[in-house]
Structure 1
Amino acid sequence: MNSSAPPPSLTASVDGEVLSRMVRTDQLVAIRRSVLAAIPINVVLSFTATLVALNSGRAFEGLSWLLLSLVVNGLRSYVSRWAFAPSPGTTPEAGVAASPTARPVASHLRLASAMAALSGCVWALIPLLCHGYSSPQAVFYLTVVCGICAGSVTYGIAYAPVPISFITPALLSVVGCLVYAGGFDNLALAAMVLLYLAALARGALQSDKTFRDGSRLKNEATALAGQLRQVHALSLDATQQLAFRASHDSLTGLLNREGFTEAATLHIAAPDGRQHGLLLLDLDGFKAVNDAFGHKVGDRVLQDVAGWLRREIVDMQAILGRWGGDEFAVLYTLKPERQTPTAIAQALIRSISFATAHYGGHLGVSIGIVVTDDADIADMISFADEALYEAKRTGRNRFQVFDSALNQRLATRRDVERDLLHAIEARAIGVWYQPIMASDAREVHSLEALMRWNHPRHGHISPEEVIFAAANTGLAEPLLRHLVDEVCRGMRQLEAAGSSLAGVPIAINVSPREMAQLAVDDIVLGLLKSRGIAPRRLQIEITEEVALDTHATRSRLSALSAAGVAIVVDDFGVGYSSLASLRSEYVRQVKIDRSFILGLSSSPGNVVLVDAIVQLGRSLNIQVVAEGVETQDELDALRALGCKLVQGYHLARPAPLPDVIAWDAARLPLAVTAAAPVSAA
């Protein structure tokens, strides 16, 4: 669209036919008023003319003419009040404008012209009262006729045919009488009357045009004002709809994240000292609904859950919103007559199954609760989210109140996230190593690199917390690069020290999220190449919770395996993809989860499971490592089952690389029992 084109004319937006009918309506209303105002004057002049006739001895003619004048004026008044007037209770404009066409308006105007012509014919009979304007009273009658004609033009400015219809017969009768009487004076006077008639007609036509122009401008403005009001109303409605859509979730109709935050901020802004409770709800099992029934059914479930929440909290005057995904938030002010947040949470957990049971499964709900009187909504959400995470971690379908312990954990997490980048850049995050040994405890098969960070305020931070913080802060890739680089540096240190461990592979753990989201193959192989390290010296250890059959993961693991990097599946036996892991062409080693090793010698069930895994590994040419070996009995049981590789505190503890080198140099070459634990520096 050409932006330089002029805007369309506003008058063009008013329909011409409608505008014409509105102008005619104004003319009709004005004519009605002028006729009703002029009739009393007409009656007064009629009585005056009759009195002059009586005084001149023409009683019969005068009274007859008066009677005719009164009848015509009465008829004209009646027609004006009846034909021109709208229905009772409405304005004349509304009564006429309501007509579907302009025909009623035009008919009324023609009727008004006809009635004016009839009244003019009555005044055309004035010559009967003065011998054709030849009696001594002729000057009086001539003055009255000319005056009433001028008055009709003055009053009838809205519609020219009405005054012209009135004055034409009256003045033509004067001209006819004067011409009939003859004589220069009469003929000159007749000419003047004709000129007078033409002037009055011209004035009536000009007044009509001026009235119509003014009426058109007024009605255009009125119509445009109406259109502008309509456009303004539509604009307000559109603005309100946009504001609603901006602050509400389109699926459930609840407040969205932004709308809930704004409403909650206003709700808790009043400094009344009252406590506010925030419940953050997350549906348990919703992903299974989506997977089993499809996203359309999942959307209907969310809509039903939203309706269920509305019903459950209808008496609480609470603010309800969809926080995102399958999470919902409820904020309300605590009052003595209302239930406590924990009671509300218990009721919600009990009743949610009834809201979704008709979809073929029962959903649960985990709830994080925070109660406070001085926190802003952002902090409350953060606190409730921490409590929700704890509720899901400890079993799901339960609630958890945010307390001091969770507050300390949240503070720690925030500090970890804030300090992580600096720790990576300063190499404050180090790597310890734990040997993986042959079951006879003589040979070190490989080393497992374990991340260690001693935070300056919070002490030891678990690897899981560091990985979680890296994912939340977008530092997953820098962290992975740092750890791989640390392992490469460790390999060089082993070579420089002349240690017998210099040739053993080193395994580095990669989280499922990193494997799914990062180009792990490009990162690892690129760093190995830049450091001059052979890929066969590195192992990638992943938990089997990662979906090994996804296209992205499969291609990355294939690239690593093809380059010589061995792929190790950790925590084998506790994930959903265990057998699929064994079928993968790139898996070279599995680590039996420590839960199966604990008390192995006294657990026949675990013995059967471990034996099955060992046999599967032998059949598929996959190495099997038993991790978590902490007693000699467990080690003996594993030896008896034919498990050739073991790892655990009974053999060697994780330690910094210098301590591992010293441990390896000091251990007995022919030891048949477990080596002494490494003393961590």
Structure 2
Amino acid sequence: MVDLPSGHDPSSGPSSDELSRRVRSDQLLSVQRSVRAVVPSGMAVGCVTAGVALYASVHWAGPSAWLLLVVLSNAYRAHVCRSLRAVEQAVAGMDERELARRFRRITLSSLLSGCVWALLPLFCDSENPSETLFFLTIVCGVCAGSVIFSAAYAPVPIVFVTPALAAVTAWLLHAGGFHHNALAAMVFVYLCTLVYASRRGERAFRASSRLKNEALFMAAELQRTHAESTRATRELDFRANHDSLTGLLNREGFAKAAARFEAAQADVAPHAALMLDLDGFKAINDAFGHKTGDRVLQDVGRWLQQRLAQHDAVVGRWGGDEFAVFYRPQGAADAPEHVAQGLIDSIGHATSHYGGQLGVSVGICTSLDRSAEEMLSFSDEALYEAKRRGRNRCHRFDEVLHGRLLRRRDIERDMVEAMATRAICAWYQPILADRGRRLHSLEAVLRWRHPKHGWVAPGEVIFAAASTGLAERLLRHILEEVCHGLVQLGGIGGAFAELPVAMNVSPREMSQLPVDVITAQVLAAHDLPPRRLQIEITEEVALDTSTARARLRALAESGVAVAIDDFGVGYSSLASLRGEHVHQVKIDRSFVFGLDSSPASCLMVEAVVRLGRSMDIEVVAEGVESQEEFETLTRLGCPLLQGFYFMRPAPLGQVVEWAERRRDSLPVTMASRS
């Protein structure tokens, strides 16, 4: 392969300077090879010539001295061109200055050798024409050989032949006579011809070398391009199938690898799919920052690969802090529960140096005939069950979970159509004041009777909507249903025309959706005043975020009343009552149940009632189901009551009929609201 110079753009071909350097490198190698090739023959011809001179001469000193010069000049030429193999390896990396230096040394050695052969006419004698002819022929032949063998670089043969043939020409002219002068002219023409041939040969060599190097460059460039293309393809494939943070397979890559793994294994034993979720990872992220969180995920990825290497498992990052494992158990040591428990027991050591102890929940699914994709879905369902049961444990997918999964899939699949056909609708439950004698407001409750699974709990519907990206659409749909109810109440007229309706918004919706904007849009579309609507929100995390507080404040400023549901349990905080946006609190059902026989609950209810009265906040006791609970709440002075004791949630028409039937015994009047 031809090495390219650094900083050169390969797409534009070799530069002129670079191509010239390569051509001169080829010339140098060719000249060195030819010099090394002709040195032995030059020595042989010199020895024969010296022998003839000694034979023809009376004095042996001259031929002997000349032979010594031949030996020395050829030895120097051999020295200049020594270590041909090492030179060939070094020539590719030589710069122009080094090449020029080597050319000068070779040219000098040729000049010295040519000068030695230029001394040969000194042995010529016009009185011995046969010997003279021999010496002159030798000189001309050596010069011709020099041109033939050194055609790559013209200066080398030119400096060799010029002194020798010039000496022959001079001797012939000195000898005089027509024949000698004519022969001198021919030798001069011969010299000019050799010089011309040398230059022409060099041009031909350079042209051939240029074509060769360009072809070599193109071949090297094609090879490099192919190598880069192959490397880029591998890199793109790696990036497409691997997680950039941990280096593990990503979701798509894991699915492909698991499918290949499954296809490569004989169907003689079940495969196992494990879905893992880190417990406590959010705490590490919050305490140490996302960079530390990323390092934790990287450590967990390496730890999983090390722990599962002996099981020949496919390991991937499923997303966030979830990881997936797929393998075929070979024996008791490979049992999924055993492997999962080993991971649970050892994960704390993998990340303990960050100052926080992580746990891991594991969902397990084993099957012989199900696809890897199905098994991963089932193990994910088992993972949720493991986390629901307390985290840091494993749970195997079973028939109960299978039924639950099928139910949830049906709910998610049919939700869009249920909203389009208004099968998902709002039912209403009255909230009463004045010890149950006056209708204060209504609460809208989400209802959906699935054609296959029957009544679906509101929490299930909301969770399914969040899982399928339909949370905002569901919120808009329920708001539309409530607004339809408000319009119907306005059409009835009388006391119902101004009756407010409350609807529940989950903390997830309040945190992730622009509830204030959506509410304003839907109310404006139905030309309804904001005071007719009340938003109930379970406090939890929603009231603890700046975004949620800003949205609640915006709702309150627009005229929509805000209520805190399930007050007294979970994350309820008295600090949340300081906000001007809170209009109402609802005492949780757990304090109302069995209230007549629980002094502690009575104290709690009484405290909330007094707190609401002092802060001018309405207090509702929900979940009233018995006469005893009703009487106790009345005695404690709870201003607003709601529960099955009065009426179960029902369609709006039935609630209106119920209220009209009680008109005589329970006059329907509206509570004034600021």
The TM-score, its normalising length taken from structure 1, stands at: 0.86
- Structure 1 contact 433–447 (Cα < 8 Å) conserved: yes
Q: 1:86–1:236: structure 2 CA closer, same or farther, 3 Å change rule?
A: farther
Q: Equivalent residue for 2:428?
A: 433
8 Å CA contact 2:567–2:585 kept in 1: the answer is: yes
How far, CA to CA, are the matches of 1:412 and 1:320 in structure 2? 29
Q: Report SS of the residue matched to 2:542.
A: coil
Whichever residue aligns with residue 196 of structure 2, its letter is: R
Change beyond 3 A, Cα 1:212–1:75: farther
After TM superposition, give the deviation of residue 624 of structure 1 in Å. Answer: 1.2
For structure 2, the residue ranges without an aligned partner over 5 or more in a row are 1-8, 667-674
Where 2:543 maps in the other structure, the secondary structure is coil
How many residues align? The count is 658
The alpha carbon displacement at 1:157 in A equals 0.8
Shift of 1:282: 1.8
* Aligned-partner Cα distance in 2 for 1:602–1:114: 122
- Classify 1:150/1:323 alpha carbon distance in 2 versus 1 (closer, same or farther; 3 Å): same
User: Which residue identity is paired with 2:457?
Assistant: S
Deviations 1:327-376 (A, max 9, x none): 22222222226422222222222222333334343332222222234444
Question: Residue 658 in 1 paired to residue 656 in 2?
Answer: no
Distance 1:80 1:457, change over 3 A: farther
Partner of 2:13: 10
Match of 2:366 among 354, 363, 371: 371
Whole-Å Cα distance in 1 between the matches of residues 574 and 347 of structure 2? 36
Q: Is the 8 A contact 1:433 1:657 kept in 2?
A: yes
Give 2:328's aligned residue: 333
Q: Cα 1:231–1:132, aligned 2, differ >3 Å: closer, same or farther?
A: farther
* 1:212, distance to aligned residue in structure 2 (A): 3.4
Alpha-carbon separation, structure 2, partners of 1:215 and 1:329: 60
Matches for 1:69-148 after TM superposition, within 5 Å = 71-86=68-83, 90-97=85-92, 102-103=97-98, 105-132=99-126, 135-148=129-142
Specify the code of the residue in structure 1 equivalent to 2:389.
T
- Counterpart of 1:678? none
1:185–1:313 CA distance, 2 compared to 1 (3 A): same
- Shift in CA distance, 109/101, structure 1 to aligned 2, threshold 3 Å: closer
Residues 145 and 314 from structure 1, CA distance in 2 versus in 1: closer, same or farther, beyond 3 angstroms? same
Specify the alignment match of 2:300 in structure 1.
Answer: 305
Q: Distance in 1 between matches of 2:215 and 2:399?
A: 69
Aligned to 1:574, the other structure's residue is in SS state: coil
Whether the 8 Å contact between 1:257 and 1:323 is mirrored in structure 2 is yes
Report what 2:262 is aligned to. 268
Report how far residue 75 of structure 1 moved. 3.9
- Choose which of 580, 585, 591 in structure 1 pairs with 2:586: 591
The more displaced of 408-417 and 356-365 is 356-365
Single out whichever of 648-657 and 43-52 deviates more from structure 2. Answer: 43-52
The amino acid that maps onto 1:174 is V
RMSD: 3.4
Amino acid aligned to 2:27? Q
Q: Deviations over 1:250-298 (max 9, x none)?
A: 3333333333333333323336224332222222222222223332332
The residue type equivalent to 1:390 in the other structure is E
Aligned equivalent of 2:535: 540
Question: 2: distance between equivalents of 1:93 and 1:570?
Answer: 89
What corresponds to 2:632 in structure 1?
637
Q: Aligned pair in 2 of structure 1 residues 661, 127: CA closer, same or farther (>3 Å)?
A: closer
Cα distance in structure 1, aligned partners of 2:558 and 2:20: 88
The aligned residue for residue 27 of structure 2 is 27
Q: 1:210 to 1:72 in 2, by over 3 A?
A: farther
- Give 1:590 deviation, angstroms: 0.9
- Out of 47, 56, 66, the position equivalent to 1:58 is 56
Q: Kindly provide the CA deviation profile for residues 496-544 of structure 1, in whole angstroms up to 9, marking residues without a partner as x.
A: 6679766542222222233333343344344444445443333222211
Q: 1:133 to 1:237 in 2, by over 3 A?
A: farther
CA shift at 1:570, angstroms? 0.9
User: Structure 2: how far apart are the matches of 1:375 and 1:69?
Assistant: 98
Matched, 1:172 2:166: yes
Aligned residue for 1:548, secondary structure, equals helix
Output the amino acid matched with 1:268.
Answer: E
Change (3 A) 1:304 1:45: closer
- 1:155 alignment partner, one of 124, 146, 149: 149
Report the 3-state secondary structure (helix = DSSP H, G, I; strand = E; otherwise coil) of the residue aligned with 2:564: strand
Could you tell me whether the CA contact under 8 Å between 2:53 and 2:63 is conserved in 1? no
1:201 equivalent in structure 2: 195
> Deviation digits for residues 546-590 of structure 1, max 9, x if unmatched?
523544434443343344432221111223243233122122111
Which amino acid in the other structure matches residue 579 of structure 2? S
1:257 corresponds in structure 2 to 251
Does residue 553 (structure 1) correspond to residue 548 (structure 2)? The answer is yes
Distance 1:659 1:7, change over 3 A: same
Match of 2:608 in 1: 613
How far apart, in 1, do the equivalents of 2:12 and 2:478 lie? 71
Residue identity opposite 1:250 in structure 2: S
Answer yes or no: is the 8 Å Cα contact 2:429–2:445 preserved in 1: yes
Confirm or deny that 1:396 pairs with 2:394: no
- The range that moved more, 107-116 or 378-387, is 107-116
Secondary structure (helix, strand or coil) at the match of 2:334 reads coil
> For residues 43 and 397 of structure 1, do their structure 2 counterparts lie closer, same or farther at Cα, with a shift above 3 Å needed?
closer
Q: Distance in 1 between matches of 2:385 and 2:615?
A: 40
Give distance in 2, aligned partners of 1:425 and 1:68: 117
**Cα 1:285–1:609, aligned 2, differ >3 Å: closer, same or farther?**
farther
Task: Give the match's secondary structure for 2:266.
Answer: coil
- Name the amino acid aligned to 2:374: D
* Separation in structure 1 between the aligned mates of residue 592 and residue 413 of structure 2, nearest angstrom: 38
Matched residues in 2 for 1:131 and 1:548: separation? 124
What one-letter code is carried by the residue in structure 1 that aligns with 2:404? R
> Which residue of structure 2 aligns with residue 571 of structure 1?
566
Contact 1:316 1:338 in 2 (8 A): no
What corresponds to 1:211 in structure 2?
Answer: 205
Asked if 1 retains the 8 angstrom alpha-carbon contact of 2:621 and 2:641, the reply is: yes
Is the contact made by 1:571 and 1:594 (CA closer than 8 Å) also made in structure 2?
yes
Letter of the 1:83 counterpart: V
Q: Quick check: 1:160–1:205 contact (8 Å CA) kept in 2? A: yes
Name the CA distance, whole Å, in 2 between partners of 1:166 and 1:177. 18
Letter in 1 for 2:485: G
Percent identity, please: 52
Answering whether residue 585 of structure 2 is matched by residue 582 of structure 1, we say no
Give, as a single letter, the amino acid of the residue that structure 1 aligns with 2:56.
R
State how far apart, in whole Å, the 1-side matches of 2:275 and 2:455 are.
30
Distance 1:492 1:29 in 2: 100
Structure 1 counterpart SS, 2:263? coil
Are 2:42 and 2:74, in contact at CA under 8 Å, matched by a contact in 1? Answer: no
Alpha carbons of structure 1 residues 390 and 141: separation in structure 2 relative to 1, 3 Å = same
Q: Distance in 2 between matches of 1:531 and 1:42?
A: 113
Instruction: Check whether the contact 2:444–2:504 (CA below 8 A) recurs between aligned residues.
Output: yes
Matched residue SS, 1:11: coil
Q: Does 1:417 align with 2:432?
A: no
Pair 636,143 (structure 1): closer, same or farther in 2 beyond 3 Å: same
Query: CA separation in 2, counterparts of 1:138 and 1:561?
Result: 127
Comparing 545-554 with 275-284, greater Cα deviation is found at 545-554
Offset of residue 621 of structure 1:
1.3
Deviation at 1:46? 4.7
Cα–Cα, structure 1 residues 214 and 612, in superposed 2: closer, same or farther, change >3 Å?
same
Q: Is the partner of 1:629 in helix, strand or coil?
A: coil
* Corresponding letter in the other structure for 2:80: A
Comparing 629-638 with 411-420, greater Cα deviation is found at 629-638
